[in-house]
Structure 1
Amino acid sequence: MGRIALLATLVVTATTTLASAQTYSAEQRRQCTGDAFRLCSSAIPNVEDVTACMRKQKAHLSISCKAVFDKPVVTAVSNNED
């Protein structure tokens, strides 16, 4: 039970850190979190290191993660010109 709690804590920490440090879509986090743990666990929770590691490991990413990995994230921009 202790391992499951630790893993759950790491997942929450990693996804929260990813969301706050760089804009990733929910889909990117959902599709790539497993790959991040599998390929780059030693870099967690440093988002920049995880991202660099994932880029280096791109050939080994799962098909679903590869499909979303380099997708640009569209953010809403407010145009306050009146």
Structure 2
Amino acid sequence: MKTHLARVGAVRSRIRRASRVGLFLALFAAGSAHAQQGTPEQRRACTPDVYRLCAAEIPNARAITTCLRRQKGSLSPACAAVFEQ
């Protein structure tokens, strides 16, 4: 029973984290000081990089953007293209 509850808790935690990343990416604006909604393609391009490089910054959208810019050399080609726009 404890194992089942631990798994349920872990799943809920992942869902909450994914929701936070989704919220960030919805507000994500690659080159603008004003928050604009990113396109679905931009969100798909950068979500893995957020988890891989900037997970500690979730849910702080500004900190995630700063982190991704700082990690520009490590971004996937798709996410790097988002920042070049």
Deviation at 1:26, TM superposition (A): 1.6
Match of 1:47 in 2: 61
Aligned length: 71
* 1:60 is the counterpart of 2:74: yes
Residue 6 of structure 1 is aligned with which of 7, 13, 16? 13
Match of 1:78 in 2: none
TM-score, with normalisation over the residues of structure 1?
0.71
Deviation at 1:6, TM superposition (A): 1.9
Taking only aligned residues, the RMSD between alpha carbons, in angstroms, comes to: 1.8
Give distance in 1, aligned partners of 2:27 and 2:51: 18
Give distance in 2, aligned partners of 1:34 and 1:20: 17
Deviations 1:6-38 (A, max 9, x none): 223211222123324622222111110110111
Match of 1:33 in 2: 47
The code of the aligned residue for 1:37 comes to Y
Q: Relative to total residues, which structure has the larger helix share, 1 or 2?
A: 2
Match of 2:83 in 1: 69
> What is the percent sequence identity of the aligned residues?
38
Does the C-alpha gap of structure 1 residues 20 and 67 become closer, same or farther in structure 2, counting only changes over 3 Å? Answer: closer
Deviation at 1:52, TM superposition (A): 0.3
Unaligned 5+ residue runs, structure 2?
1-6, 29-34
Unaligned 5+ residue runs, structure 1?
72-82
